[in-house]
Every structure is written in C-alpha cells, then in structure tokens.
Amino acid sequence: MRDYECARHEMVERQLARRGIKDARVLSAMRQVPREAFVAEGFEEFAYEDAALPIAEGQTISQPFIVARMAEAAELERVNNVLEVGVGSGYTSAVLSHLTSRVSAIERHAALAKKAMERLSALGRNNVEIRTGDGTKGWPAKAPFDAIIVSAAGPTIPMALKEQLAIGGRLVIPVGHENGPQRLLRIKRIDDNRYDAEDLGGVMFVPLIGDEGAQRPQSSG
C-alpha cells in the first residue's frame, strides 16, 4: 500500500510551497487532509499528483495547487464565516474546515453533497454544513460571509454572492467560459456599493450551473 502521508507531505513541499504558496496555515491544512479519501475509487494512487481528477456526476476534484491558491487568496482566519460554492468531492471543504470556524457549502448534485458529507463526518470535520441547491444564489440565511470560494466558472460574477460578502470580505471565483479562457478573480468588498477586483491568473474549471451561472439547471418536471 502506498504511503499516502509521505506522498501528501511531498506534494505540499514540491507542488505548493515551491510554486509560491506561502501561507503557513494553508500548507498545514493541505498536509492534514487525506486527498485519497476524496477521489473516486480506483484513483487513489493518483491522489497526490497535481492534477484534477474525475468524480461522479461529470465533475472533478480540483488539483491541489488550485485548492491551496484559492484558500490563500481568500485570506482566511480561524473566526471567519466562509461559503463554498460547488462542493464536489468535499476536498476543498475539508481544507477550509482546518482554516476557519464555520464552512457553509452548496452543491447542486444531491448525491455528491451526501457523499461529501459522509467523507467529512468520517474525518471528524464537524464545522462544515452542506446543502443541495443553486450556488449562484448563495446562502442568505448564513450571510454575511467573510470569504466565498467558488469551485466552478461562470461568465460573470453572480450578484447574489457579491451582496452576501461582509464589508472587507473576499470572493474568489473563476470567470470565463467552459471551452474558453478563464481567469481566477479575487473580489474584495470595500463598502456597500464598491468592490475591488484582482486577477490572479488563468485557470480551468467546470461550468457554474445556476440562475446566474454559465447554464441554467435543467428542469426535472
């Protein structure tokens, strides 16, 4: 059996620290979360390669560097209230749970949400709450958020997410089209009506589905 703990520490040093991730808390969180527990069965041996991997429902688990990059960009503190949009396997939720006091997370696929919650519970990550729904609408009952991380790309930034940021809050989101260029943006809320945007570089994510996303969800009726 592969020594996953050794591989995890090697991944953090080689793929994250050497490539510019400097936040010590983020690096520590990445060392603590067993990525092999979040990949699809049969992909465990690839868990610590710096690559996105397929999961159920046509979705992917993001590459470790991107997870760390987004967490670092969100500038998280232990007391922060954080929203994650696009739970997928639950891996990013697990990393965030080590960095902040409360993670509220939204996943549009009920099966993925259920499986992610099972994985998180098995690891004792009890400060994460997941619900199924349209992530582009955010989670108004849990707002305002000190940080919002979106793990899917839409053509524009959903207004609901911007409005649910606390003053001084950070929204980290990929913006662009599924088969075109995408940019990772960090949006900081300056006051009630002003936001500052920073381009963090090119990325590639699955499309953000929802009323304010790349596509509207298909009706089940």
Which CATH number do you get for residue 97?
3.40.50.150
Stated pTM of the model: 0.93
Q: Is residue 211 part of a domain?
A: no
Q: Is residue 217 part of a domain?
A: no
Is the predicted pLDDT of residue 118 greater than 70, yes or no? Answer: yes
The residue to which tokens 């688990």 are assigned: 61
Q: Is residue 90 part of a domain?
A: yes
Is the predicted pLDDT of residue 215 greater than 50, yes or no? Answer: yes
**Mutual angle of helices 64-73 and 24-32, in 10-degree steps:** 140
Beta-strand pair 195-203/182-189: antiparallel
Q: Is residue 216 part of a domain?
A: no
The tally of domains found in the chain comes to 1
Judged by average pLDDT, the poorest of 64-68, 76-80, 195-199 is: 76-80
Which is nearest to 27 in space by CA: 18, 40, 36? Answer: 18
Is the predicted pLDDT of residue 214 greater than 90, yes or no? Answer: no
pLDDT score recorded for residue 219: 45
Active site annotation includes 28: no
Please, which pLDDT band fits residue 138 given cuts at 50, 70 and 90?
very high
For residue range 171-193, what is the model confidence (pLDDT) as tens digits? 999 999 877 899 999 999 999 99
Beta-strand pair 165-176/182-189: antiparallel
Question: Which structural domain, as residue segments, surrounds residue 152?
Answer: 4-203
Q: Is residue 67 part of a domain?
A: yes
- Which is catalytic among the residues 28, 62, 93, 151? 62
Which is nearest to 157 in space by CA: 166, 148, 169? Answer: 148
Which is nearest to 152 in space by CA: 18, 78, 61, 48? Answer: 61
DSSP states of 15-58: IIGGGT---HHHHHHHHHS-GGGTSPTT-GGGTTSSS-EE-GGG
